[in-house]
Chains A and B, each alone.
Chain A
């Protein structure tokens, strides 16, 4: 019995010791064991990496690789061992730029499709970023160069590259560098803009301005907007589904006085009939001005369109404006401005925090010259400007009326 008792107590003591170790060692309490500051890389750190080729390429050199079609980096001698570095010139704090960041060096800029939200929480304006391009894909969307991952292999995909939205791939390719002074916007002239627009082939890849943070001075409002709305965004709405597309164009501003349309604002406008004279359809398939006031069943009259009617389900007998009201989501709006003789669209997202802010009266009604700062992009041969900060941001406004 004595041995048994001793054995039991020994076991109990062993268990007690182990529990105390577990109890006090690994469990972190508030204020304990605060992690160190994260490491930010320097050129020297990158140079010490075993697969670093010895020097960086410029962003212009990267874009120059493009002749036609997407390029999977690291698959040929010309596009292998490719590292670039640039400073961050965009941020998604205002919500107008989303899941991407623009990197700029002295030679140009590139849209890095990093694929995560709230990037401003982790990256700072002006911070240096090193990108190991091997394994990434250089692609284009409507002429605009983008650096992402291999495109999704789906029939409906319209992008040549996809988001790098997997953290392990980001960790392998995108390295945070030192924080630096934010890059000042480059003031460009209409001639600069035309020069970038007018390359006969691949204007997006040959023009040096795309993706850069720029300032356009003296823009004048043109009383015209452009927007593409999807009445039921959950239904197919690509170009093959014109019955679910409504273009707001060619008719002034459609009563839109804000930079974009939040879901709430869009719902209010559809309820007020603001878009009832618009036309459903796109491309060759158009259903006539004012078809927004009709129902899908009324306008889809062809025998082959029964399936398109069915796709609307119970909504097939609701006017389009009511469908738009029911499924209201935030919508982008592009406001046209004149930059000399060249049109520039200032494109804002309905998800941006300034979406429902009115354009200043001095711009809309007085047509006073305005300086606007943003990321310059190209969309099917046309220049677009995306604001990075809010138009009236207290410390860094992107819109300055003269």
Chain B
């Protein structure tokens, strides 16, 4: 037996030795340099292709040099990619077994003032309103479309192909880090660590990555290890006028040292306010420490620890009435004066450090793998005002506005609204139009909150709470790459995730009071005469005979875990035949999650734990409920799978045509399934996976200074679900709306290009075009519950002309606004669109660079952005009113989706750098956006899920006004940097 093994090993060794001896002697070498100044480019990735097949790859050293040995004679295409540079391809011919010296290979730098990261998006928080404002960030400096769209379109919250942000897979060191509960991109975890996170690998659309199977919206893998950071010391000072005044950043990386170690550090601070939105400020730090060690030729170990402790003030949305009255579309209702100084009630305070260890194993040129273990922990809280049995303190609460006193729709008075007091209307209008004279009424009045609290004998009526989603997130990922034969590349991996996210609320500030009581404000309205039902912590109440008195830092209200477990694996194979390559992939997974309540709420006590407890309950008149707030819920389990197929054909080295198709069967997220997780364990019935079919066809040209990509795509997404919560005026209660069966179809065209003008040296024309149609294609179903009851709310439902009372409510007008003619035929008046991103977005500009100068200017056009829709407004009931009679006028008024006005923007940027003694580099870049100071560009918003139902004629309902966000006017960003 041993002999056989030894013989086998010896044969393999001999074979390897012989093959080594037979290796060809040809090769390619050279130096990668910046076209602008011939400065060496470090860490450029060089991939040598023959037809569609990858032959070899290398990485440029600190001095920009590279060497690819052992090449057969032949013609090759060398693809050069590097962070901050556009992709470049050159043709290489190896003859007679010689090493071809390419000397200098120049690449074009992408000049931007700063990276796009989470900071580029204002911080807003909507709790469980259902409005998703999480941005998707287009990285991919190597892709001409993403490069231009990512930087220029971020200001209007453009989302590629109108896909949601959770469809964008974001990896760090090979671990998928999309939020376990919501699926959102995790960009905020490394905001301010631009240098440390600069090196990344990006794929588009359906393309797979070496570290992950990916979905249909690309994969971004940030390397994040010490050796991937650019060597040297760097410092920068940045200011911008839209978010924070100052960012200072420093980084240092040793690069790979002779002893095999590499160390890196990055720190930054972002501080101050901005020119546009009062109350928004930053006080954020960031740190990053990393070390790599090459153990031997095959093994490298990396350790990384980073975090971004800090706080940032959030902005809020308001109605157009408020903006118009204030004369300012940037009005932020979140702040007010406290004893003459600005204070924001909505402040995000986070510190979620991440530690990971990575082992890279590269035993041969044909096989490599990595294993990453990653742990995320810490706190993530959003402050908010909370109050008990006290007036709503928000300055733009609808009862404080002129429209509450004199009702109009689209500027036309409606007596039906029963709001007809011109004295109050005039007075309210005067106040809002003279906001500077009434800061206590047009902004939060903190002083009043303190004084109310002082009037209560120690009990605070108003407090500032902190709503936490604190995660313990453990990930383990194994990824491999194998070339069993030259024509075949296999990539694959296994991954596991254990996530426990604790949702809870603490008392942040008692605002002059001494304590707060742990009582449910909404339950108290309905069950004041039954005190046990109003208790947020029933067990405490029973044990102590009174509500819990809360001090600063105490948990209250709700406290539960979202427990999530994911396991899966994937494999992707690429086979190349000449100019054609085919890739096919498969992903399998198992996902499960459940809620685990940590407190027993009076509204949903569940069953008594034992006889003694039952006796106590009997004595107190406590009625057991089938739904429970405490303990573990049922477990939602999903088997997930996905498959991909792609064809790629290379034409002449610089051009390729490729097409992809994929099918995905994904689990819904935790936050899309539980009806009211703050109060109980109940889930939506009939849980379904989300089914996505996606396809794209692409044409790409890269060479001779020209970069072009054109893509056509078609995607359908089916069986999505969503849970949102809002106060419902019809039920007079805080309600939860669970929607299932949401289908969408996305189709469209993308073009990105950068082309030299030829007639003016160093001047290029660049631009992108994105024209798509992302629409809803189904009639979803909705069930509604109120927080105070387990029962589903019943509504009249128009079933083929007969009204029935039902608890499963079709959203009849979700996918379109339509009326019926006299014969009952449907006439569609408007399709309904996926909201909050322009579905037409274009940019055309000029880029000039010479002698370390660069100047860019472009014009942008955005259109066909739509408002996020309320499901309640799309029911038969809402568009009919109380009288049971549906008119075309009512349907059109209630169900039409608002389309934002198109916008044209002008932007420009300029930069220059100097090399001092050929060792130090000093430079600046200045970007000016929205040069025409257009302050009327809506970037998002949502319909309020509230209805005016107390009308005079009781024939119809009216909407509450929608809320909007606007883009800031003229703004700039200046970055000054120093490197050596």
Residues of A with Cβ closer than 8 Å to B? Answer: 1, 4-5, 8-9, 11-12, 15-16, 18-20, 22-23, 25-28, 30-38, 95, 116-118, 121-122, 124, 149-156, 162, 165-169, 232, 234-236, 262-265, 307, 310-316, 326, 329, 351-357
Contacts and interface: CB of A to CB of B under 8 A. Distances in A.
B529 A33 contact: no
Given A154-B952, A234-B882, A355 B529 contact: yes
7 contacts: A12-B976, A20-B246, A27-B341, A168-B441, A234-B949, A313-B884, A357-B529
Nearest to A165: B399
Contact of B454 (A8, A32, A37): A37
Contact of A15 (B246, B339, B924): B246
B16 interface: no
A31 B448 CA distance: 16
A27 to B, nearest CB: 6
A352 B389 CA distance: 13
B36 interface: no
A169 to B, nearest CB: 6
B884 A23 contact: no
Given A19-B246, A19-B272, A154-B420, A33 B338 contact: yes
B63 interface: no
Top 8 A-B pairs ranked by shortest CB distance? A313-B884, A19-B245, A19-B272, A314-B803, A19-B246, A356-B529, A28-B343, A353-B528
B450 interface: yes
Contacts of B339: 33-36
Given A27-B341, A121-B455, A311-B883, 7 more contacts: A15-B239, A34-B450, A35-B512, A121-B389, A165-B424, A353-B528, A355-B529
B922 A5 contact: yes
A19 B244 contact: yes
A38 B884 contact: no
Interface string B865-897: 000000000000000101111000000000000
Contacts of B446: 28, 35
Contacts of A166: 400, 405, 424, 427-428, 431
A26 B914 CA distance: 38
A35 B529 contact: no
A151 B418 CA distance: 12
B281 A313 contact: no
Contacts of A20: 246, 271-272
A11 B974 contact: yes
A262 B529 CA distance: 8
A156 B976 contact: no
A121 B391 CA distance: 9
A162 B421 contact: yes
Contacts of A149: 421, 423-424
Nearest to A352: B528
Contact of B447 (A38, A153, A310): A38
Contacts of B399: 165
Contacts of B455: 121-122, 124
B884 A356 contact: no
Nearest to A137: B423
Interface of B: 237, 239, 244-246, 248, 271-273, 281, 283, 313, 338-344, 389-391, 399-400, 405, 415, 418-424, 427-428, 430-431, 438, 441, 446-448, 450-452, 454-456, 461, 464, 508-509, 512, 525-530, 730, 732, 794, 796-797, 803-805, 880, 882-885, 912, 914, 922, 924, 949-950, 952-954, 974, 976
A36 B508 CA distance: 21
A235 B880 CA distance: 13
B477 to A, nearest CB: 39
A329 to B, nearest CB: 7
A55 B448 CA distance: 30
B529 A168 contact: no
A193 to B, nearest CB: 30
A18 B275 CA distance: 12
A95 B528 contact: yes
B245 A26 contact: no
Contacts of B281: 22-23, 27
A8 B924 contact: yes
A15 B431 CA distance: 35
Contacts of B530: 264, 356
A235 B730 CA distance: 11
Contacts of B405: 166
A32 B339 CA distance: 10
B530 to A, nearest CB: 7
Contact of A117 (B391, B803, B883): B391
A232 B527 CA distance: 21
Given A310-B885, A311-B954, A18 B245 contact: yes
A356 B528 CA distance: 9
A117 B452 CA distance: 13
B237 A16 contact: yes
A22 B450 contact: no
A18 B344 CA distance: 20
A155 B974 contact: no
Nearest to B344: A27
B107 to A, nearest CB: 26
B551 to A, nearest CB: 13
A30 B883 contact: no
Contact of A33 (B248, B341, B418, B528): B341
A124 B438 CA distance: 26
Nearest to A260: B529
B411 to A, nearest CB: 19
B803 A313 contact: yes
Given A12-B976, A168-B427, A310 B884 contact: yes
B338 A35 contact: yes
Contacts of A314: 796-797, 803-805, 884
B310 to A, nearest CB: 12
Of A18, A36, A311, most buried by chain B (CB within 10 Å of CB) is A311
Given A168-B427, A310-B885, A28 B730 contact: no
Contacts of B884: 310-314, 316
Contacts of B454: 37
B952 A27 contact: no
A264 B271 contact: no
Of A122, A232, A265, most buried by chain B (CB within 10 Å of CB) is A122
A354 B529 contact: yes
A236 B949 CA distance: 11
A223 B450 CA distance: 47
B419 to A, nearest CB: 8
Contact of A118 (B391, B415, B438): B391
A47 B422 CA distance: 31
A33 B952 CA distance: 48
A18 B272 contact: yes
B116 to A, nearest CB: 21
B922 A152 contact: no
Contacts of A122: 451-452, 455
A264 B331 CA distance: 41
Contacts of B883: 307, 310-311, 313
A266 to B, nearest CB: 11
A130 B542 CA distance: 45
A122 B245 CA distance: 39
A30 B347 CA distance: 12
Contacts of A356: 529-530
Contacts of A15: 237, 239, 245-246, 974
Nearest to B912: A4
A169 B508 CA distance: 33
Contacts of A263: 526
Contacts of B464: 30
A313 B882 contact: yes
A27 B343 contact: yes
B245 A22 contact: yes
Contacts of A12: 237, 239, 976
Nearest to A167: B441
Contacts of A152: 418-421
Contact of B239 (A19, A30, A352): A19
Contacts of B885: 310
